Structure 1
Amino acid sequence: MKTKSFLPAALTPARTPVPTTAWTAALATALAVTLGLGAAPAQAHAPAGDPRISTAFALPGGKVYPEGIATDPRTRTVYVGSYADGTVYRARPGRPEAEVFLPSGTDGRRTANGLRVDALGRLWVTDSTAGVAVYDTADGSRLAHFEVARGAGAPAHFINDLALTPDGTAYLTDSVRGVIYRVTPEQLAHGSGALTEAYDLSAALRPRPAGGFSLNGIAVDRTGRYLLTVDMPEGDLYRVDLRTGAVRRVDLGGGDLKAADGLDLSPDGTLRVAHNATNTLTRWQVCADGTRARLTRTITDPSLQIPTTLAHTPGRTLVVRSQFDKGGPMSPDSGTPTTFTVAAVRGL
């Protein structure tokens, strides 16, 4: 897939959330579809209020609706993006609350879906309405940006999540078109340009309504041989061979990834998945060539508050609690969110 928030009252611009009605409706429909679907078959369920689920830090603001997360292993800093208005937050180690790093509307950014920090410490942020931008984590300056074609005659799009290969190439999912875009280190060196299509998965995906969502989270294996990406409504996981371009459905051993949003693939082949609408986290063991995956753990708990994505760090997994069902894109007219937080989950 794949995913900015409102600022504290004193900093909030006089504007409403800017994702277009069409895309907000599309996201709401995709998430709503998953409400009636189970996550992958469970092997072990954590009871409600499981003590392994705690709060890592809070996010300031009343209508944040966070979606993306990225960690910088060099500094242990965590970045979180808001779907609502494009704000990017920075959480420093040991601090109970994050701070605004990139304010809403920076460089025209409307949303902050997918986030990643690369090996050189640069922060990549996708905007579902436009493309991806790259920022210097030292001072917040924009280093590069890549955008899809927009305007009359341009195909509909929803840039969702991204992954980075060991050589620094970025791959991004488009949830509406069912394609994966690519930004190479050579393109990045030029600073800006068009977001170009690398792989079209539309023929491999199960049929869906016109304009419906498909691809969401994306991850890459440690050797850079293949990508894994999930079809959220259908629960299928796809493998894309980066040498040949071949696309195949991963054998999940009878399980599925329905409602799956963010993916995190560790070097040892452990795949961790956030299933948003079912308040579920799963852990899978992916075989060496990425063609099969086996479910090894399931945690379902309402305290996850619609988890959209996750980032595994030593000793814990950080999970974004989106609260999309509390007046957010999943259910705009119902519910009132509590304080927005990122959870720390142990044992996943």
Structure 2
Amino acid sequence: MLSQQKKNLAVTLLALAASVSAGAGPAAAAPAAPSAHTAASHARISTAFTLPGERVYPEGIAADPRTGAVYVGSYADGTVYRALPGRSRAEVFLPAGTDGRRTANGLRVDGRGRLWVTDSTAGVTVYDTRSGTRLARFDVPGTGPRFVNDLTITPDGTAYLTDSIRAVVYRVTRAQLATGGGVLQPAYDLTPTLTRLPDRRFSLNGITADPRGRYLLTVDMVAGELFRIDLCSGAITRVALEGGNLRNGDGIDLAADGTLRVVHNTTNTLTRWRTNGDGTRARLTRTVTDPSLQIPTTLAHTRGRTLVVRSQFDRGGPAGNNGDPTAFTIAEVRGL
């Protein structure tokens, strides 16, 4: 994603696609040409629920495994929506501008039922999912460019967040969370490891944690590469990708069985990868490309189904308006 001021950079993903194409060659191409074992066949795509509002432009999603509730964030104004089990329409959980939030990008529900919401221009805020009460807030210090994008939470309760402009990963520990807030400090700087590309302005996007807490995986959306961060040694290495790449890679999710699911935004593509035991290699096993994904930005795999955010940023981003109050939806994908 990209933006410093949402009004000035309304067409978020389309502008990013242009920068990717300029900096990394044919980035708008599909992640990989499907082969016999990666054919995009028989995936079932439907609508899970709708989001109220004419300018939602959703970006992030999080599922609460304890309750079945699903939370979705609006890139346009920072609204956070909640879809309850069995409901076909979400409701507003946190109104636009809550706690000064301009955007709602990365969302996660941790093991204690707390909802984490990133604001690309500021940092991350943590809420009680029962009452909506703010529990903590952490901001990037200073006034320099930043884009706090996605986050993940390890089994010990530590949160890790990507910054797409600074190419760093921030960390918030359980002890820091207990203080109620503070500043975000980089835990890992991937700048020296990234592939050097001309006119690069953006880099890290989606991030996910090994369910056993050994490492993180984060995607360089411009070069299409995946990086592994060892949480014990701090070593940062490229993951060996077999059968494709992660260009336009946005949200990613690593399951306990080693399945890695990836959203490729501007190509309307989802991919599934099989990782090895230590996350150093990943092999492409499935590719699904369908225009009905409507510029997907991220996903949540929960209760046997994959929920995918249809951002529809190609309609004009936060400054656009198609006049249809039911136009914004979350997709359900079976067979990914």
TM over 0.5: yes
Question: Does the aligned pair in 2 maintain the 1:2–1:217 contact within 8 Å?
Answer: no
Aligned to 2:331: 343
Alignment partners' CA distance in 2, 1:2 and 1:251 = 27
Residue aligning to 2:29:
37
Change (3 A) 1:203 1:51: closer
2:78 corresponds to 1:86? yes
Query: 2:96 maps to which residue?
Result: 104
Preserved CA contact (<8 Å) 2:40 2:286? no
One of 183, 188, 199 as aligned partner of 2:188: 199
Which residue of the other structure, out of 191, 205, 209, is the alignment partner of 1:216? 205
* Shift in Å, 1:284: 0.3
1:313 paired residue number: 302
For 2:241, the equivalent position in structure 1 comes to: 252
Q: Does 1:75 align with 2:93?
A: no
Aligned residue number for residue 11 of structure 1: none
Q: Distance in 2 between matches of 1:27 and 1:195?
A: 25
Structure 1 stretches (4+) deviating beyond 4 angstroms? 23-28, 332-338
SS in 2 for 1:267: coil
Query: In the alignment, is the contact (CA less than 8 A) between 1:276 and 1:307 conserved in 2?
Result: yes
In structure 2, the CA distance between the partners of 1:29 and 1:208, relative to structure 1 (3 Å rule), is farther
SS at match of 2:313: coil
CA distance in 2 between counterparts of 1:222 and 1:2 reads 29
Offset of residue 87 of structure 1? 0.2
Pick the aligned partner of 2:129 from 137, 144, 151: 137
On the 8 A contact 2:13/2:314 being kept in 1, the answer is no
CA distance in 2, matches of 1:288, 1:203: 26
User: Are 2:253 and 1:264 equivalent residues in the alignment?
Assistant: yes
Hey, what does 2:171 align to over in structure 1? 182
CA distance in 1, matches of 2:179, 2:200: 33
Aligned to 2:284: 295
User: Secondary structure at 2:15's aligned position in 1?
Assistant: helix
Q: CA deviation at 1:309?
A: 0.3
Identity %: 65
Which of 243, 261, 276 is 2:265 aligned to? 276
Looking at structure 2, the residues matched to 107 and 335 of structure 1 have their Cα atoms a distance apart, in angstroms, of 28
CA deviation profile, 1:256-302 (whole Å, cap 9, x unmatched): 00111000110111000111000000000111111000111111000
Does the 8 A contact of 1:2 with 1:262 survive in 2? no
Instruction: Please give the per-residue CA displacement for 1:183-208, whole angstroms capped at 9, x wherever unaligned.
Output: 00000000010001100000100124
Aligned residues: 327
Q: Where do 5+ consecutive residues of structure 2 fail to align?
A: 22-26
Q: What is the deviation of 1:24?
A: 4.9
Give 3-state SS (helix, strand or coil) of 1:312's partner: strand
Change (3 A) 1:255 1:20: same
RMSD (Å) for aligned C-alpha atoms: 2.3
Q: 5 Å matches for 1:16-27? A: 19=6, 21=8, 24=10
TM-score under structure 1 length normalisation: 0.89
Of residues 205-214 and 50-59 in structure 1, the stretch that sits farther from structure 2 once superposed is 205-214
Tell me what 1:66 maps to.
Answer: 58
Q: 1:118 corresponds to which letter in structure 2?
A: D
Q: Which runs of 5+ in 1 are unaligned?
A: 4-16
